Amino acid sequence: MTKLLTQEEIYNSLKTKYSQYSPDFELQIKAGQMAKLNRLVKEKNAVILKHNYMSWDLQCDEVLGIRGDSLELSRKATETDADTILFLGVKFMAETAKVLNPKKTVLIPSLKAGCSLAASITGADVRKLKQIFPGIPVVAYVNTDADTKSEVDVCCASGNAAKVVRWAMKEWKTNKVIFLPDKFLAQNVANEMNADIYFPNMTVDPKEVQKDFALRVNNSVPNTPIFIGWEGKCEVHEKFTPHDVDNLRHDFPGVYIMAHPECPPEVVKKVDFAGSTGEMIKKVTSPDIQDKQVAFFTECAMVEILAAQHTNVLQVCSIQKRCPHMAQNNLETVIEALEKMQFEITVPEDLRKSAELPIRRMIAIK
Ligand code: 13P
Ligand code: SF4
Q: Where are the domains of the chain?
A: 7-113+326-340, 118-233, 237-319
Report the atom number in ligand 2 closest to the C-alpha of 324. 3
Alpha helices in the chain (DSSP H): 7-18, 24-43, 56-59, 70-77, 91-100, 123-132, 146-149, 161-171, 183-192, 206-219, 242-251, 265-268, 277-284, 300-309, 331-340, 349-364
pLDDT of residue 316: 81
Q: Take atom 8 of ligand 1 and give the residue whose Cα is closest.
A: 143
pLDDT of residue 278: 97
Distance 73 CA to ligand 2 centre (A): 15
Question: Where does residue 321 rank: exposed (0-12), middle (13-18), buried (19+ CB within 10 A)?
Answer: middle
Distance 266 CA to ligand 1 centre (A): 19
Its CATH class, for the domain covering 7-113+326-340, is alpha beta
Q: Per-residue pLDDT tens, the chain, 366 aa: give them.
A: 578 999 999 999 999 999 888 899 999 999 999 999 999 999 999 999 999 999 999 999 999 999 999 999 999 999 999 999 999 999 999 999 999 999 999 999 999 999 999 999 999 999 999 999 999 999 999 999 999 999 999 999 999 999 999 999 999 999 999 999 999 999 999 999 999 999 999 999 999 999 999 999 999 999 899 999 999 999 999 999 999 999 999 999 999 999 999 999 999 999 999 999 999 999 999 999 999 999 999 999 999 999 988 999 998 866 789 999 999 999 999 999 999 999 999 999 999 999 999 999 999 998
pLDDT of residue 319: 75
pLDDT of residue 308: 87
Query: How many CA atoms within 13 Å lie on the side-chain side of 300?
Result: 15
pLDDT of residue 1: 56
CATH 3.90.320.10 for domain 118-233, yes or no, is no
Q: Take atom 8 of ligand 2 and give the residue whose Cα is closest.
A: 115
**Ligand number, closest to the Cα atom of 74:** 1
pLDDT of residue 20: 82
Nearest alpha carbon to residue 240 among 188, 279, 193, 163: 188
The answer to whether the CB of 97 is under 6 A from ligand 2 is: no
The answer to whether the CB of 300 is under 6 A from ligand 2 is: no
Q: What CATH number has the domain spanning 237-319? A: 3.40.50.10800
In whole angstroms, how far apart are CA 339 and each of 35, 109, 307? 14, 11, 32
Q: Take atom 3 of ligand 2 and give the residue whose Cα is closest.
A: 323
* Bridge partners, residue 178, by sequence: 138, 228
Distance 89 CA to ligand 1 centre (A): 10
pLDDT of residue 338: 98
Report the atom number in ligand 2 closest to the C-alpha of 262. 7
Give the separation between CA 202 and CA 225, rounded to whole angstroms. Answer: 22
For Cα atoms 185, 187, 190, give the angle at the middle one, nearest 5 degrees.
Answer: 105
Domains 7-113+326-340 and 237-319 fall in the same CATH topology: yes
Ligand 2 site-directed mutation target among 234, 238, 321, 322, most atoms within 8 Å of CB: 234
**Ligand number, closest to the Cα atom of 90:** 2
